[in-house]
Amino acid sequence: MRIISYNVNGVRSAMKKGLTDWLQTDPADVVCLQETKATKEDVDVSAIEALGYNTYWFSAEKKGYSGVAILTKVKPDALFYGNGIMQSDAEGRVIRADYGDVSLINAYFPSGTSGDERQAYKYVWLDEFFEYINELKKTRPKLIICGDYNIAHKEIDIHNPVGNKKSSGFLPEERAWMDKWFGAGLVDTFRAFNTDPHHYSWWSARFPTVRAQNKGWRIDYISVTDPLQSALKGAAIYPDVKHSDHCPCYVDIKI
């Protein structure tokens, strides 16, 4: 099974830029979208479903904000909308699909770039999500956690670590949380196969030349729990896919 994680920064905008045409190339069995900024009713899902995808959407209460979706050619055995935490669910940040004994979680982590209040909430969300995953592992030990984590973990994951050491998304507290995350029985699938630098998944849209110059951040991840590590077959990033300020990343895994 090939699984893609992709922050589309507005699914309707991405579709205008050729997202549906790209899906026609059959890039994956499952495509996890973040920051959809739309409900299912806002989108021409028939064009996507015609390609063989079942679509499941969990949107924010606020119009045009946040939201996640799973497009899957393999029908899940069960779907769970949200993680039971009120503010996170109101912002449409987590959706889960179960395939046999494997659970796939698609998550859109909060950004703290808009100010201190959202940065403070980001830390709360991270702690709540960590606890949610730890509880889920007790009954569902085989987890795949896709998403825009909004954190560059290590210096290798950002083009200018020195200049961004005080930037949200690369703060010491955020990076320490990632240390804790990957120290708690989770595997960074991309780094399991790629140890070289200059691989990024997001480039600031405020500076149009930075993507061409590859001055980016790797903030999109697919993590798996230890019981699935031996099932990994490959992982990579698609920097040339351009429907968003992010690009897709994927994992091949035998389920």
Residues with catalytic annotation?
A: 148
Amino acid at 65: Y
Burial 214-241 (b: 16+ CB within 10 A, else e): ebbbbbbbbbbbeebeebbeebebebeb
CA distances from 135 to 17, 126, 131, 160, 166 (A): 39, 14, 6, 36, 32
Residue 32 CB partners (closer than 8 Å, separation 6+): 3, 4, 5, 6, 68, 69, 70, 71, 104, 106, 146, 147
The closest of 222, 196, 202, 207 to 32, measured between CA atoms, is: 222
